[in-house]
C-alpha cells in the first residue's frame, strides 16, 4: 500500500521533526521505499539531514507554485535511507501572502505524480495550522500525533482532533489517525508513566505500543545531519524508532486484511456527536452553580491584588477575563480552572471550570 502520513501537532517541540526523520530512516532501513517531505518553513528536517536550508533552490514551495517536478525537487540526502524534499524559510510566503490561487489541494495534486513510487510518504508539519499543514492533512491518508511526556501534553490535543475532524468532513473524508506517539518518555519521572496510562485509558489502541524515550543521542543526531540510526545504531533511540517502523508496517498489514481494526482506529473521528463531544468535554457548569470553592473574597480586587493573593500568572493585562489553574490534585485528564471577570479594572465575578478529557459519550 502507498501511504501518505502527516506528522502533526500544533504544539511546538513535541518531536514531530525528530520522529519524521527517524521514522523515515527506520522504514527505509526496513526496505520500504520512503519519501520524507519537509513542509515546515523552520526547515529543521532539512538541516537535520545535513543540508543548509538557505542554499536550497528547489524546495517544497514548488508544491504551491505549480512547479513541482519530481526529478528536480526530490533529492537523496547522504547516508539516508529515504528520498527527501527540503524546505526553507521562503515556504513561509504561502502562509503570509495568502494568494487567491492557493488552496487546500495543491500538495495532494502534486503528490499524485509520485505516490506510486513510494510505500510511505512522511510529511513533517509545522506547529502552526495554516495553509501548509491543512494541505498536509488534506493530502494524507493518516496522521501520527507525537505527544511529548510533560504535564501540559494534552492541552491542544482536542483542538488538533477537532481540526482533523473538520478536515474529514470537508477536504479529506478518508483521513484517519495512524496513532498517538509518546515521545521523550522518561522512566525516571512518574509523569511519563501516568501520561501513558491516561492516554491508553482514553485512546486505547490509537496509542502506539512503541514509546520514544528521552535520549541525549536523539537530540545530538541532527547536529551531525544524521538520523539516530546512523548516529547511534546500537542505542536505545535507534531501537525505539525501528520498533515504531515495524509497528507501523505490521499495523498496516493487519489493517489491509482486517477492516475491523481500521474501524476501531477511526472510531474517534466518526462520533456523531458535536465536536465538543469529540474528545474534550467542558463541564463548565458542574461547579459554577455550587461555587463549592468559594472565591467570593476576590470580588472587587484589582489586578495587582489578584497576583498577590493567587500568585503570578501569565494573563494579558488588558484582558477582561483572567484564568488560573486551581487543581491541587494532579490529574492529566481533569483540570480545574478559575476564571476571573473584570469590569472597570476590578473583579466582578468568577467561575470555576473543570476540563475533563473524555472519549465521547
Ligand X SMILES: Nc1ncnc2c1ncn2[C@@H]1O[C@H](COP(=O)(O)OP(=O)(O)OP(=O)(O)O)[C@@H](O)[C@H]1O
Residues of this chain that interact with ligand X (CB under 6 A) are: 12-18, 40, 42, 44, 127, 183-184, 212, 214-215, 218-219
**To the nearest whole angstrom, how small is the minimum distance from the Cβ of residue 14 to ligand X?**
4
Q: Which stretch binds Mg ion (CB under 5 A): 37-45, 104-112, 259-267, 303-311?
A: 37-45
| Using rule CB under 5 A, residue 44 touches Mg ion | yes
At 196, is the secondary structure helix, strand, or coil? helix
DSSP 64-125: GTT---HHHH-B--TT-SSEEE---GGGHHHHHS--TT--TTHHHHHHTTTGGG-SEEEEEE
**To the nearest whole angstrom, how small is the minimum distance from the Cβ of residue 195 to ligand X?**
14
Task: List the single partner that 218 binds among ligand X, Mg ion, none, CB under 5 to 8 Å by kind.
Answer: ligand X
9, 10, 17, 135: which one binds Mg ion (CB under 5 A): 17
Q: Which helix (H) or strand (E) holds 184?
A: strand 176-185
Q: Could you give the C-alpha distances from 152 to 15, 80, 195, in angstroms and in order? A: 15, 34, 10
Task: List the single partner that 219 binds among Mg ion, ligand X, none, CB under 5 to 8 Å by kind.
Answer: ligand X
Quote the CA–CA distance of 351 and 318 in Å, as a whole number: 19
Grid look-up 526496513 returns: 30
350 and 298 in contact (C-beta within 8 Å)?
A: yes
| Using rule CB under 5 A, residue 11 touches Mg ion | no
Vertex 331: Cα angle to 190 and 191 (nearest 5): 15
46 and 56 in contact (C-beta within 8 Å)?
A: yes
| Using rule CB under 5 A, residue 16 touches Mg ion | yes
Task: List the single partner that 14 binds among ligand X, Mg ion, none, CB under 5 to 8 Å by kind.
Answer: ligand X
**To the nearest whole angstrom, how small is the minimum distance from the Cβ of residue 44 to Mg ion?**
5
User: Closer CB to ligand X, residue 7 or residue 347?
Assistant: 7
Task: List the single partner that 215 binds among Mg ion, ligand X, none, CB under 5 to 8 Å by kind.
Answer: ligand X
User: Closer CB to Mg ion, residue 70 or residue 156?
Assistant: 156
Task: List the single partner that 212 binds among Mg ion, ligand X, none, CB under 5 to 8 Å by kind.
Answer: ligand X
User: Closer CB to ligand X, residue 70 or residue 127?
Assistant: 127
Quote the CA–CA distance of 253 and 166 in Å, as a whole number: 28
Amino acid at each position: 500500500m502507498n501511504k501518505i502520513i502527516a506528522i502533526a501537532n500544533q504544539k511546538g517541540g513535541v518531536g514531530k521533526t525528530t520522529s519524521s526523520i527517524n521514522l523515515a530512516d527506520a522504514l527505509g532501513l526496513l526496505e520500504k521505499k520512503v519519501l520524507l517531505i519537509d513542509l515546515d518553513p523552520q526547515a529543521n528536517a532539512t538541516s537535520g539531514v545535513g543540508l543548509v536550508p538557505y542554499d536550497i533552490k528547489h524546495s517544497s514551495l514548488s508544491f504551491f507554485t505549480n512547479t513541482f517536478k519530481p526529478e528536480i525537487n526530490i533529492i537523496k540526502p547522504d547516508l539516508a535511507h529515504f528520498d527527501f524534499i527540503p524546505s526553507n524559510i521562503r515556504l513561509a510566503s504561502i502562509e503570509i501572502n495568502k494568494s487567491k490561487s492557493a488552496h487546500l489541494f495543491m500538495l495532494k495534486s502534486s503528490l499524485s505524480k509520485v505516490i506510486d513510487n513510494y510505500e510511505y510518504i512522511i510529511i513533517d508539519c509545522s506547529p502552526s495550522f495554516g495553509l501548509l499543514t491543512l494541505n498536509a492533512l488534506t493530502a494524507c491518508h493518516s496522521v501520527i500525533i507525537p505527544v511529548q511526556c510533560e504535564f501540559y501534553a494534552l492541552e491542544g490535543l482536542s483542538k488538533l482532533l477537532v481540526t482533523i475532524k473538520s478536515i474529514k468532513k470537508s477536504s479529506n473524508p478518508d483521513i484517519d489517525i495512524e496513532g498517538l506517539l509518546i515521545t521523550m518518555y522518561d522512566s525516571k519521572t512518574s509523569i511519563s508513566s501516568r501520561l501513558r496510562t491516561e492516554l491508553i485509558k482514553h485512546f486505547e489502541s490509537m496509542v502506539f505500543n512503541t514509546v520514544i524515550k528521552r535520549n541525549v543521542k536523539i537530540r545530538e543526531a541532527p547536529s551531525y545531519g544524521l538520523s539516530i540510526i546512523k548516529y547511534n545504531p546500537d542505542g536505545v533511540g535507534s531501537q525505539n524508532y525501528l520498533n515504531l517502523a515495524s509497528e507501523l508496517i505490521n499495523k498496516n498489514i493487519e489493517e489491509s486484511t482486517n477492516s475491523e481494526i481500521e474501524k476501531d482506529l477511526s472510531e474517534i473521528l466518526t462520533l456523531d456527536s458535536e465536536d465538543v463531544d469529540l474528545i474534550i468535554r467542558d463541564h463548565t457548569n458542574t461547579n459554577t452553580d455550587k461555587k463549592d470553592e468559594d472565591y467570593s473574597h476576590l470580588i472587587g480586587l484589582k489586578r495587582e491584588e489578584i497576583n498577590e493573593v493567587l500568585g503570578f500568572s501569565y494573563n494579558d493585562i488588558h484582558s477582561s477575563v483572567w484564568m488560573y489553574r486551581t487543581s491541587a490534585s494532579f490529574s492529566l485528564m481533569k483540570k480545574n480552572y478559575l476564571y476571573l471577570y473584570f469590569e472597570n479594572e476590578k473583579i466582578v465575578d468568577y467561575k470555576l471550570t473543570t476540563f475533563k478529557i473524555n472519549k465521547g459519550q
